[in-house]
A = this chain, B = another copy of it.
Amino acid sequence: MKLYSHEFYLTAAEVNAQREMPLSRLVTLIIDTATGHANAIGIGFDRMISYGISWVLSRLTIDIQRPLSVNHVYRIDTWIENLNRMFSDRNFEIIDVETGEAIVWAHSTWMAINMETRRPSDLTMLTEMTDSINGRPYPYDKGGKLLPVTDETEEKTYRFAVSDIDVNRHVTTRRYIDLIVDQWSLDRFDANRVSRFEIAFKREARYDELSRTVSAPHEGSPEVFDVMIEVNTAPCALARIYFTQR
């Protein structure tokens, strides 16, 4: 299956103050769609765990030409662009079903980690996966290396609580993305939309850890910001967020 699709209707209960899909929901939709495709081609969690390995999302870039807005039907397509021993690139496209127009693109890089050694596992043994390679490239910049933020202009602290913890006893991706979004005021999101988002996942945070989320303008830009979530001075996530005036 070289293309996996999922169609959905965006309800009022799922949108934010700007009547759009929140960034954290967009990221979890992308991850859940990857999971759906992996299950469909036989490289899902259950199969992987039988080899003692598990998927880990390492890097994600999203380009948003137009936000997903309430009371519309969308389709998300995903495909595997390539894989090598260490990494697999997976792309996504979100289509406004009414107009047929593609409005969001995403690129992700995944690894498979040995659950015991925590070392990367060889992906080329997953033959179902090599058979499913589509090859269609990502149409935008996949994004470069994200660096720790050292010149922060904003800082917030937050202690991870029960509601932030997932089935693996790690902090959810949703909480990471919400911590990033919550660096800015509601006014900023009323006046601007997020047009691009990049994130690199560095370390899993755990229950009751105290996090520090810091941000700074990227190379002095008023519209692009670097963000870092850290626990005990070790980065958990590095991100870059691009705003565009509405």
| Residue positions of A touching B, CB distance < 8 A | 11-13, 15-17, 19, 22, 24, 28, 31-32, 35, 45, 70, 161-163, 165-167, 169, 178, 181-182, 184-186, 189, 207-208
Minimal beta-carbon separation of A23 from chain B (angstroms): 9
- B-chain residues with CB within 8 Å of residue A12 when the two chains form the complex: 45, 167
For the complex, give the distance between the alpha carbons of A45 and B16 in Å: 17
For A163, give the chain B residue with the smallest CB separation. B178
Structural contact, B163 and A24, CB atoms closer than 8 A: yes
Structural contact, B45 and A167, CB atoms closer than 8 A: no
Minimal beta-carbon separation of A164 from chain B (angstroms): 8
For the complex, give the distance between the alpha carbons of A165 and B16 in Å: 6
- Offer 12 A-B interface pairs, CB within 8 angstroms, sorted by A: A12-B167, A13-B166, A15-B167, A16-B165, A16-B166, A17-B166, A17-B167, A19-B167, A162-B181, A162-B185, A163-B178, A186-B207
8 Å CB contact of A182 from B24, B163, B185 = B163
For A23, give the chain B residue with the smallest CB separation. B163
Structural contact, B208 and A186, CB atoms closer than 8 A: yes
